[in-house]
A = this chain, B = another copy of it.
C-alpha cells in the first residue's frame, strides 16, 4: 500500500450530533493539533446548513447519499445530494491513486460507548483497529458488510478509516467526557498513520473482537405504521450485551413484554437510537467474531 496522503476528519455529517461539529471547529482554530509531518490533515464540516439549524439534515440524510449511482445522477439536486457530490469529488480515494483516510465523527443516543466502524477490511484498517483496541480496551469494533458501490454512507468514499460513533448522548447535547475521548482516539489514529507512513507502525497480533451487523430490527407497529411497543427496560442501555432466545426485547404501552424469538444469541447495538425511529429500526443485531490476524 502507498503512503497515506491525506486524513479527512469529518464532523457534522448530521447537524445535531455536536461532538464532531465542535471537534472540527476546535481543529479549525488550532490546526497544529491535527498536523503531522507525513500527510495532510483536513477538518471538514460535512453538512454546514444542517449544523446551523441543529437538525440531522435539511432535505435528506447526507449519510445516505453516497451510493455510486446517486453520486453519478445529475438529477438529484437536494442540498445533501449536492454536498455528497462535492465531498466525493474532493475527498474520495476510490478510483484514484491517492490514499485518503476518512474519520467520520458521529454520536448516538444508544449506549455504544466508543465504537470504530471499519470502512473496509483492508489490512491497514485491521492493523489500525488492533492498535486502537490495545490503547483503548473498551473501544468496540464494528463491521457493516457493504462495498463502496452500494454503500450510501460517507465513510464508503475511502477504503481506509471509518466512522467513530460515541454514545449515549442526546441529539443537540455536548458531553464533555465523550468529546475528550473522541479527540484522544483521533490523535491516536493520526499518530498511527504517521508511524505507518514512516514504516515504524508496530505490528499488532492481538486477536480482535469484531461485531458484524446482521439485521435491522424494527419496532412492533400497527397497520398505520405507528409503533406499538418501546425498548424493554431490561434491554435499554445494553448495547453489545448478549440477547438470548426468550429475553425481553420490547414492552408494549400496556406493559406486556415482547420476547426475542430467535434461536441464536445476538448482540444488539443502536438500541433506541432517536434518528432510527423514522428509519424503521429499533436496534441492529450483530454477531461477535474473534479474529486472529497478523499471525
Contact = CB atoms under 8 A, between A and B. Distances in A.
B26 A253 contact: yes
Contact of A277 (B172, B177, B179, B236): B172
Copies of this chain held together in the complex: 2
A232 B176 contact: yes
A275 B172 contact: yes
| Chain A contact residues: helix, strand, loop or mixed | loop
A172 B14 CA distance: 15
Contact of A171 (B26, B170, B254): B170
A173 B109 contact: yes
Contacts of A22: 230, 253
- Among A26, A175, A176, A275, max chain B CB count under 10 A is at A176
Nearest to A167: B170
A251 interface: yes
A40 B109 CA distance: 38
Given A170-B170, A274-B171, A176 B230 contact: yes
Nearest to A23: B253
Interface size class of A (residues with CB under 8 A): 20 to 34
Interface in A207-257: 227, 230-233, 236, 251, 253-255
- Among A179, A274, A275, A278, max chain B CB count under 10 A is at A274
Given A180-B255, A253-B26, A230 B174 contact: yes
A272 B173 contact: yes
Interface string A8-27: 00000000000000100010
- Among A174, A175, A272, max chain B CB count under 10 A is at A174
Contacts of A172: 109, 171, 274-275, 277
Interface of A: 22, 26, 54-55, 109, 168-177, 179-180, 227, 230-233, 236, 251, 253-255, 272, 274-275, 277-278
19 contacts: A22-B230, A54-B277, A109-B173, A168-B170, A170-B170, A170-B171, A170-B173, A171-B274, A172-B274, A172-B275, A174-B227, A174-B230, A174-B272, A175-B236, A175-B272, A176-B230, A176-B232, A176-B251, A180-B255
